[in-house]
Amino acid sequence: MSWKNFIQDIRGEFGSIPRKGFDVKFGYGMRSRSHLVVQDSLVQAIDALKQSRWSNLPPELLRDVLMRIEASEYTWPPRKNVVACAGVCQSWREMMKEIVKSPEVSGKLTFPISLKQPGPRDSLFQCYIKRNRSRQTYYLYLCLNEASTDDGKFLLAARRCRHPTHTDYIISLYSDDLSKGSSTYVGKLRSNFLGTKFTIYDAQPPHAGVKVTKCRSTRLVDLRQITPRVPAGNYPIAHISYELNVLGSRGPRKMQCVMDAIPAFPVEPGGVAPTENDFLPSGLDGFPSLPFSRSKSSRIESFQSEHLSDQSEAMLVLRNKGPRWHEQLQCWCLNFNGRVTIASVKNFQLVASPENGATGQEYENVILQFGKVGKDVFTMDYQYPISAFQAFAICLSSFDTKIACE
Protein backbone atom coordinates (compact mmCIF):
# COMPACT_ATOMS: atom_id res chain seq x y z
CA MET A 1 0.00 0.00 0.00
CA SER A 2 1.41 3.40 -1.00
CA TRP A 3 1.67 6.25 1.50
CA LYS A 4 -1.05 8.14 -0.40
CA ASN A 5 -3.48 5.21 -0.17
CA PHE A 6 -2.47 4.72 3.46
CA ILE A 7 -3.39 8.29 4.36
CA GLN A 8 -6.66 8.06 2.43
CA ASP A 9 -7.54 4.88 4.30
CA ILE A 10 -6.89 6.64 7.63
CA ARG A 11 -9.05 9.57 6.59
CA GLY A 12 -11.81 7.16 5.62
CA GLU A 13 -11.75 5.60 9.06
CA PHE A 14 -11.77 9.00 10.72
CA GLY A 15 -14.54 10.30 8.48
CA SER A 16 -16.84 7.39 9.37
CA ILE A 17 -17.27 8.73 12.92
CA PRO A 18 -20.70 10.38 13.28
CA ARG A 19 -20.44 14.09 12.70
CA LYS A 20 -23.08 14.83 15.32
CA GLY A 21 -20.94 13.37 18.05
CA PHE A 22 -18.09 15.71 17.26
CA ASP A 23 -20.36 18.72 16.91
CA VAL A 24 -21.69 18.19 20.41
CA LYS A 25 -18.28 17.70 21.94
CA PHE A 26 -16.81 20.76 20.28
CA GLY A 27 -19.65 22.99 21.35
CA TYR A 28 -21.82 23.07 18.23
CA GLY A 29 -24.61 20.96 19.70
CA MET A 30 -24.93 22.41 23.18
CA ARG A 31 -28.50 23.52 22.51
CA SER A 32 -29.90 19.97 22.48
CA ARG A 33 -33.21 19.61 24.28
CA SER A 34 -32.21 16.46 26.08
CA HIS A 35 -29.04 15.87 28.06
CA LEU A 36 -29.42 12.17 27.28
CA VAL A 37 -29.07 12.86 23.57
CA VAL A 38 -25.79 14.65 24.25
CA GLN A 39 -24.44 11.77 26.30
CA ASP A 40 -25.45 9.20 23.67
CA SER A 41 -23.72 11.19 20.95
CA LEU A 42 -20.52 11.44 22.98
CA VAL A 43 -20.49 7.73 23.73
CA GLN A 44 -21.11 6.96 20.07
CA ALA A 45 -18.16 9.10 18.97
CA ILE A 46 -15.79 7.70 21.60
CA ASP A 47 -16.79 4.10 20.80
CA ALA A 48 -16.12 4.73 17.13
CA LEU A 49 -12.62 5.91 17.99
CA LYS A 50 -11.93 2.93 20.24
CA GLN A 51 -13.13 0.46 17.62
CA SER A 52 -11.01 1.97 14.87
CA ARG A 53 -8.32 -0.46 13.73
CA TRP A 54 -5.84 2.41 13.37
CA SER A 55 -6.16 3.51 17.02
CA ASN A 56 -5.23 0.03 18.29
CA LEU A 57 -1.91 -0.38 16.50
CA PRO A 58 1.01 -1.56 18.70
CA PRO A 59 2.99 1.48 19.91
CA GLU A 60 6.23 0.33 18.27
CA LEU A 61 4.56 -0.16 14.89
CA LEU A 62 2.61 3.07 15.21
CA ARG A 63 5.75 5.08 15.96
CA ASP A 64 7.55 3.58 12.98
CA VAL A 65 4.64 4.32 10.65
CA LEU A 66 4.26 7.90 11.84
CA MET A 67 8.01 8.55 11.67
CA ARG A 68 8.03 7.38 8.06
CA ILE A 69 5.12 9.66 7.19
CA GLU A 70 6.74 12.63 8.93
CA ALA A 71 10.05 12.07 7.13
CA SER A 72 8.45 11.60 3.68
CA GLU A 73 6.17 14.65 3.76
CA TYR A 74 8.79 17.36 4.14
CA THR A 75 7.14 20.40 2.54
CA TRP A 76 3.67 21.84 2.07
CA PRO A 77 1.13 20.93 0.75
CA PRO A 78 2.09 17.23 1.29
CA ARG A 79 2.88 18.18 4.89
CA LYS A 80 -0.87 18.27 5.55
CA ASN A 81 -0.77 14.46 5.78
CA VAL A 82 1.24 14.80 9.01
CA VAL A 83 -1.49 17.02 10.44
CA ALA A 84 -4.13 14.54 9.28
CA CYS A 85 -2.40 11.73 11.19
CA ALA A 86 -2.41 13.83 14.35
CA GLY A 87 -6.19 14.13 14.02
CA VAL A 88 -6.98 10.40 13.94
CA CYS A 89 -7.25 9.88 17.70
CA GLN A 90 -5.62 10.94 20.94
CA SER A 91 -2.92 8.26 20.92
CA TRP A 92 -1.89 9.22 17.38
CA ARG A 93 -1.90 12.89 18.31
CA GLU A 94 0.33 12.41 21.35
CA MET A 95 2.71 10.23 19.36
CA MET A 96 2.90 12.72 16.50
CA LYS A 97 3.55 15.59 18.90
CA GLU A 98 6.61 13.69 20.15
CA ILE A 99 7.84 12.94 16.63
CA VAL A 100 7.38 16.38 15.09
CA LYS A 101 10.09 18.70 16.37
CA SER A 102 9.84 22.44 16.86
CA PRO A 103 10.81 24.79 14.00
CA GLU A 104 14.03 25.60 15.82
CA VAL A 105 15.17 21.98 15.40
CA SER A 106 13.32 20.76 12.30
CA GLY A 107 13.17 23.95 10.25
CA LYS A 108 9.52 23.15 9.41
CA LEU A 109 6.13 24.65 10.26
CA THR A 110 3.60 21.89 10.88
CA PHE A 111 1.04 22.49 13.63
CA PRO A 112 -0.53 25.84 14.61
CA ILE A 113 1.67 25.92 17.72
CA SER A 114 4.65 26.31 15.35
CA LEU A 115 3.52 29.89 14.76
CA LYS A 116 4.20 30.66 18.43
CA GLN A 117 7.57 28.89 18.56
CA PRO A 118 11.00 30.36 17.65
CA GLY A 119 12.19 29.91 14.09
CA PRO A 120 15.30 27.98 12.98
CA ARG A 121 18.73 29.05 14.20
CA ASP A 122 20.79 28.75 11.04
CA SER A 123 18.36 29.89 8.36
CA LEU A 124 15.47 32.26 7.73
CA PHE A 125 11.88 31.19 7.24
CA GLN A 126 10.89 32.92 4.00
CA CYS A 127 7.35 34.30 4.10
CA TYR A 128 5.40 37.05 2.42
CA ILE A 129 2.51 39.35 3.36
CA LYS A 130 -0.31 40.37 1.03
CA ARG A 131 -2.24 43.54 1.78
CA ASN A 132 -5.86 44.17 0.84
CA ARG A 133 -6.27 47.95 0.91
CA SER A 134 -10.04 48.02 0.52
CA ARG A 135 -10.70 45.60 3.40
CA GLN A 136 -7.76 46.75 5.54
CA THR A 137 -6.60 43.16 5.92
CA TYR A 138 -3.19 41.48 5.80
CA TYR A 139 -2.38 37.83 5.09
CA LEU A 140 0.82 35.99 5.97
CA TYR A 141 1.97 33.06 3.81
CA LEU A 142 4.89 30.67 3.93
CA CYS A 143 6.84 30.74 0.67
CA LEU A 144 6.66 27.46 -1.21
CA ASN A 145 8.40 28.79 -4.29
CA GLU A 146 11.22 31.32 -3.91
CA ALA A 147 10.65 32.61 -7.44
CA SER A 148 6.98 33.47 -6.91
CA THR A 149 4.58 34.85 -4.31
CA ASP A 150 1.48 33.64 -6.14
CA ASP A 151 1.12 30.51 -4.05
CA GLY A 152 1.98 29.78 -0.45
CA LYS A 153 0.85 28.12 2.76
CA PHE A 154 -1.49 30.42 4.66
CA LEU A 155 -0.31 31.08 8.22
CA LEU A 156 -1.99 34.12 9.79
CA ALA A 157 -4.32 36.99 8.96
CA ALA A 158 -4.84 40.45 10.47
CA ARG A 159 -7.47 43.17 10.21
CA ARG A 160 -6.91 46.85 10.92
CA CYS A 161 -9.45 48.48 13.26
CA ARG A 162 -9.21 52.23 13.66
CA HIS A 163 -10.35 53.97 16.84
CA PRO A 164 -10.34 57.64 17.86
CA THR A 165 -7.20 57.36 19.99
CA HIS A 166 -5.46 54.22 18.70
CA THR A 167 -5.39 51.52 16.05
CA ASP A 168 -5.73 47.76 16.58
CA TYR A 169 -4.57 44.95 14.33
CA ILE A 170 -6.53 41.80 15.21
CA ILE A 171 -4.53 38.67 14.37
CA SER A 172 -6.27 35.35 13.65
CA LEU A 173 -5.51 31.83 12.50
CA TYR A 174 -8.41 31.99 10.04
CA SER A 175 -8.50 34.32 7.06
CA ASP A 176 -12.30 34.71 7.04
CA ASP A 177 -12.86 35.28 10.77
CA LEU A 178 -10.93 38.31 11.99
CA SER A 179 -12.94 39.33 15.04
CA LYS A 180 -11.52 39.52 18.52
CA GLY A 181 -14.29 37.28 19.86
CA SER A 182 -13.42 34.54 17.40
CA SER A 183 -12.21 31.14 18.53
CA THR A 184 -9.21 31.60 16.21
CA TYR A 185 -8.07 34.89 17.75
CA VAL A 186 -4.39 34.65 18.72
CA GLY A 187 -3.44 38.21 19.62
CA LYS A 188 -3.31 41.81 18.50
CA LEU A 189 -1.08 44.80 17.86
CA ARG A 190 -2.12 48.18 19.26
CA SER A 191 -0.66 51.59 18.43
CA ASN A 192 -0.87 54.98 20.06
CA PHE A 193 -2.48 58.00 18.38
CA LEU A 194 0.71 59.08 16.58
CA GLY A 195 1.59 55.58 15.41
CA THR A 196 5.01 55.77 17.09
CA LYS A 197 4.56 53.25 19.89
CA PHE A 198 3.05 49.77 19.67
CA THR A 199 2.35 46.88 22.01
CA ILE A 200 1.99 43.26 20.92
CA TYR A 201 -0.54 41.24 22.93
CA ASP A 202 -0.87 37.47 23.04
CA ALA A 203 -4.25 35.85 23.71
CA GLN A 204 -2.60 33.34 26.01
CA PRO A 205 0.21 33.81 28.56
CA PRO A 206 3.67 33.15 27.07
CA HIS A 207 4.93 31.84 30.42
CA ALA A 208 3.77 31.28 33.98
CA GLY A 209 3.12 34.27 36.19
CA VAL A 210 2.06 36.67 33.44
CA LYS A 211 -0.73 39.05 34.40
CA VAL A 212 -3.57 39.91 32.04
CA THR A 213 -4.25 43.59 31.43
CA LYS A 214 -7.76 44.66 32.27
CA CYS A 215 -10.33 46.64 30.40
CA ARG A 216 -13.93 47.76 30.62
CA SER A 217 -15.06 45.54 27.76
CA THR A 218 -15.83 41.83 27.88
CA ARG A 219 -16.08 39.07 25.35
CA LEU A 220 -17.38 35.53 25.19
CA VAL A 221 -15.17 32.59 24.32
CA ASP A 222 -16.71 29.31 23.23
CA LEU A 223 -15.43 25.78 23.60
CA ARG A 224 -13.29 26.03 20.51
CA GLN A 225 -11.04 28.77 21.86
CA ILE A 226 -7.36 28.10 21.45
CA THR A 227 -6.55 27.50 25.12
CA PRO A 228 -9.73 26.61 27.05
CA ARG A 229 -7.88 26.11 30.34
CA VAL A 230 -6.39 29.62 30.28
CA PRO A 231 -8.48 32.77 30.80
CA ALA A 232 -8.77 34.61 27.52
CA GLY A 233 -7.08 37.97 27.68
CA ASN A 234 -4.29 40.14 26.36
CA TYR A 235 -0.80 39.47 27.62
CA PRO A 236 1.89 42.00 26.57
CA ILE A 237 4.81 40.21 24.95
CA ALA A 238 6.62 43.01 23.09
CA HIS A 239 6.83 46.78 22.75
CA ILE A 240 7.81 48.62 19.57
CA SER A 241 8.82 52.27 19.36
CA TYR A 242 9.67 54.44 16.36
CA GLU A 243 11.96 57.42 16.82
CA LEU A 244 10.33 60.78 16.28
CA ASN A 245 11.50 62.74 13.26
CA VAL A 246 10.71 66.25 14.46
CA LEU A 247 13.11 67.97 12.06
CA GLY A 248 11.80 66.04 9.07
CA SER A 249 15.23 64.82 8.01
CA ARG A 250 15.39 62.35 5.15
CA GLY A 251 16.23 58.72 5.77
CA PRO A 252 14.74 55.44 6.93
CA ARG A 253 12.72 55.04 10.09
CA LYS A 254 14.51 54.15 13.30
CA MET A 255 12.78 51.54 15.41
CA GLN A 256 13.36 49.50 18.55
CA CYS A 257 11.60 46.33 19.74
CA VAL A 258 11.71 45.18 23.35
CA MET A 259 10.69 41.53 23.49
CA ASP A 260 9.09 41.17 26.92
CA ALA A 261 8.67 37.40 26.56
CA ILE A 262 12.25 36.70 25.38
CA PRO A 263 15.31 37.19 27.61
CA ALA A 264 18.49 38.69 26.21
CA PHE A 265 20.73 35.63 26.38
CA PRO A 266 19.14 33.49 23.57
CA VAL A 267 21.08 35.47 20.95
CA GLU A 268 24.33 34.40 22.57
CA PRO A 269 25.96 31.06 21.65
CA GLY A 270 24.18 28.27 23.50
CA GLY A 271 21.31 30.50 24.61
CA VAL A 272 17.79 29.05 24.68
CA ALA A 273 14.59 31.02 24.09
CA PRO A 274 11.28 30.15 25.81
CA THR A 275 9.15 27.82 23.69
CA GLU A 276 5.38 27.32 23.92
CA ASN A 277 4.35 23.68 23.65
CA ASP A 278 0.57 23.86 24.06
CA PHE A 279 -1.65 25.74 21.66
CA LEU A 280 -4.66 23.65 20.72
CA PRO A 281 -6.56 21.43 23.18
CA SER A 282 -4.66 18.22 23.84
CA GLY A 283 -7.57 15.88 23.26
CA LEU A 284 -11.31 15.30 23.17
CA ASP A 285 -11.51 15.16 26.94
CA GLY A 286 -9.59 18.39 27.43
CA PHE A 287 -12.56 20.72 27.01
CA PRO A 288 -14.39 22.35 29.91
CA SER A 289 -17.95 21.32 30.71
CA LEU A 290 -19.48 24.78 30.14
CA PRO A 291 -20.26 26.06 26.63
CA PHE A 292 -18.46 29.33 27.18
CA SER A 293 -16.81 31.46 29.84
CA ARG A 294 -16.77 35.20 30.35
CA SER A 295 -13.44 36.91 30.71
CA LYS A 296 -12.21 40.44 30.57
CA SER A 297 -10.55 41.63 27.44
CA SER A 298 -7.81 44.15 27.67
CA ARG A 299 -7.50 47.81 27.15
CA ILE A 300 -3.93 48.96 26.70
CA GLU A 301 -2.77 51.74 28.93
CA SER A 302 -0.73 54.51 27.40
CA PHE A 303 2.68 53.30 26.37
CA GLN A 304 5.30 54.53 28.82
CA SER A 305 8.86 55.07 27.73
CA GLU A 306 9.93 54.28 31.30
CA HIS A 307 8.77 50.72 30.70
CA LEU A 308 11.37 50.28 27.98
CA SER A 309 14.21 51.64 30.07
CA ASP A 310 13.27 49.59 33.13
CA GLN A 311 12.66 46.28 31.38
CA SER A 312 15.15 46.32 28.52
CA GLU A 313 18.13 45.29 30.66
CA ALA A 314 16.88 41.72 31.10
CA MET A 315 14.93 41.40 27.85
CA LEU A 316 15.91 40.99 24.24
CA VAL A 317 16.14 44.33 22.45
CA LEU A 318 16.05 44.50 18.65
CA ARG A 319 17.04 47.55 16.61
CA ASN A 320 16.83 48.21 12.91
CA LYS A 321 20.08 47.79 11.06
CA GLY A 322 21.37 51.10 9.82
CA PRO A 323 21.42 51.44 6.02
CA ARG A 324 24.25 52.95 4.00
CA TRP A 325 23.95 55.85 1.63
CA HIS A 326 24.72 54.83 -1.97
CA GLU A 327 26.35 57.70 -3.81
CA GLN A 328 25.62 56.43 -7.30
CA LEU A 329 22.00 55.50 -6.64
CA GLN A 330 21.46 58.45 -4.31
CA CYS A 331 19.43 56.41 -1.85
CA TRP A 332 19.71 54.45 1.39
CA CYS A 333 20.58 50.79 0.80
CA LEU A 334 20.42 47.55 2.76
CA ASN A 335 21.48 44.09 1.59
CA PHE A 336 18.32 41.98 1.54
CA ASN A 337 20.00 39.25 -0.55
CA GLY A 338 17.51 39.68 -3.37
CA ARG A 339 14.43 39.34 -1.19
CA VAL A 340 13.39 43.02 -1.56
CA THR A 341 13.09 44.72 -4.94
CA ILE A 342 11.28 48.05 -4.31
CA ALA A 343 12.59 50.93 -2.22
CA SER A 344 10.22 51.88 0.60
CA VAL A 345 10.36 53.63 3.95
CA LYS A 346 8.68 50.51 5.36
CA ASN A 347 11.67 48.27 4.58
CA PHE A 348 13.81 47.25 7.58
CA GLN A 349 16.15 44.66 9.05
CA LEU A 350 16.22 43.92 12.79
CA VAL A 351 19.33 42.77 14.65
CA ALA A 352 20.16 42.28 18.31
CA SER A 353 20.97 45.55 20.02
CA PRO A 354 24.44 46.08 21.52
CA GLU A 355 22.57 46.62 24.80
CA ASN A 356 22.18 42.84 24.96
CA GLY A 357 25.93 42.37 24.82
CA ALA A 358 25.73 41.15 21.23
CA THR A 359 28.99 41.78 19.43
CA GLY A 360 30.50 40.71 16.14
CA GLN A 361 28.48 38.11 14.25
CA GLU A 362 25.62 38.09 16.76
CA TYR A 363 25.03 41.78 16.15
CA GLU A 364 25.19 41.44 12.36
CA ASN A 365 22.89 38.42 12.25
CA VAL A 366 19.51 39.53 10.84
CA ILE A 367 16.65 38.19 12.99
CA LEU A 368 13.81 39.74 10.98
CA GLN A 369 13.71 41.49 7.62
CA PHE A 370 10.75 43.03 5.86
CA GLY A 371 10.53 44.71 2.48
CA LYS A 372 8.41 45.57 -0.53
CA VAL A 373 8.35 43.48 -3.71
CA GLY A 374 5.02 44.59 -5.25
CA LYS A 375 2.24 47.12 -4.92
CA ASP A 376 0.66 45.21 -2.05
CA VAL A 377 3.13 42.36 -1.55
CA PHE A 378 5.93 42.34 1.03
CA THR A 379 8.44 39.69 2.03
CA MET A 380 8.93 38.74 5.68
CA ASP A 381 11.86 36.55 6.69
CA TYR A 382 12.52 35.63 10.31
CA GLN A 383 14.56 33.25 12.43
CA TYR A 384 15.40 32.32 16.02
CA PRO A 385 14.62 33.54 18.66
CA ILE A 386 11.32 35.15 17.51
CA SER A 387 8.22 33.36 16.24
CA ALA A 388 6.04 33.86 13.17
CA PHE A 389 3.36 35.52 15.29
CA GLN A 390 5.82 37.99 16.79
CA ALA A 391 7.45 38.71 13.42
CA PHE A 392 4.07 39.27 11.75
CA ALA A 393 2.98 41.70 14.47
CA ILE A 394 6.24 43.66 14.20
CA CYS A 395 5.82 43.95 10.44
CA LEU A 396 2.23 45.14 10.85
CA SER A 397 3.57 48.10 12.82
CA SER A 398 5.42 49.23 9.70
CA PHE A 399 2.13 49.48 7.77
CA ASP A 400 0.58 51.88 10.27
CA THR A 401 0.59 55.61 9.48
CA LYS A 402 3.28 57.48 11.41
CA ILE A 403 2.52 61.16 11.56
CA ALA A 404 5.73 62.20 13.37
CA CYS A 405 8.25 59.71 11.96
CA GLU A 406 8.40 60.58 8.27
Looking at residue 367, its pLDDT comes to 95
Within 8 A by CB and 6+ apart from 202, the residues are 116, 186, 187, 234, 235, 236, 237, 261, 389
Residue 16: CB atoms within 10 A of its CB come to: 9
Residue 31's alpha-carbon distances to 27, 28, 277, 320, in angstroms, are 9, 8, 33, 53
Looking at residue 360, its pLDDT comes to 58
Question: Does this model's pTM top 0.85?
Answer: no
- CB of 53 closer than 8 Å to CB of 19: no
Question: In angstroms, how far is CA 199 from the centroid of its own chain?
Answer: 15
Looking at residue 267, its pLDDT comes to 81
Rounded (10°) CA dihedral 328, 333, 339, 342: -70
Distance of alpha carbon 245 from alpha carbon 267, whole angstroms? 30
pLDDT in tens, the chain (406 residues): 565 666 666 555 555 444 433 333 333 334 444 444 445 555 555 555 554 666 677 889 889 989 999 999 888 988 999 999 888 888 888 999 999 999 999 999 999 999 999 999 989 999 999 999 999 999 999 998 876 677 789 999 999 999 999 999 999 999 888 887 788 899 999 999 888 899 999 988 876 555 555 444 444 444 344 444 444 568 999 999 998 765 455 556 789 999 998 988 888 777 888 888 765 443 333 333 223 333 333 333 333 344 444 444 478 999 988 888 777 777 778 888 889 988 888 889 999 887 665 555 656 789 999 999 999 999 999 999 999 999 999 999 999 866 555 5
Distance of alpha carbon 249 from alpha carbon 334, whole angstroms? 19
Looking at residue 153, its pLDDT comes to 92
Residue from 253, 280, 255, 268 nearest 384 by CA: 268
Residue 317's alpha-carbon distances to 74, 240, 307, 383, in angstroms, are 33, 10, 13, 15
Domain boundaries, given as residue ranges, for the chain = 54-100, 102-207+231-244+252-266+313-405
3-state secondary structure of 169: strand
CATH topology for 102-207+231-244+252-266+313-405?
A: Tubby Protein; Chain A (3.20.90)
Amino acid type, 352: A
Radius of gyration of the chain (CA): 23
- CB of 253 closer than 8 Å to CB of 242: yes
Looking at residue 338, its pLDDT comes to 87
Looking at residue 387, its pLDDT comes to 95
Rounded (10°) CA dihedral 9, 15, 17, 19: 180
Residue from 50, 51, 48, 53 nearest 21 by CA: 48
Looking at residue 363, its pLDDT comes to 62
DSSP 322-343: PPEEETTTTEEE---TTS--B-
Looking at residue 249, its pLDDT comes to 57
Residue from 339, 345, 334 nearest 378 by CA: 339
**326 strand-pairing partners:** 331
Residue from 258, 213, 255 nearest 238 by CA: 258
Looking at residue 207, its pLDDT comes to 64
Distance of alpha carbon 184 from alpha carbon 172, whole angstroms? 5
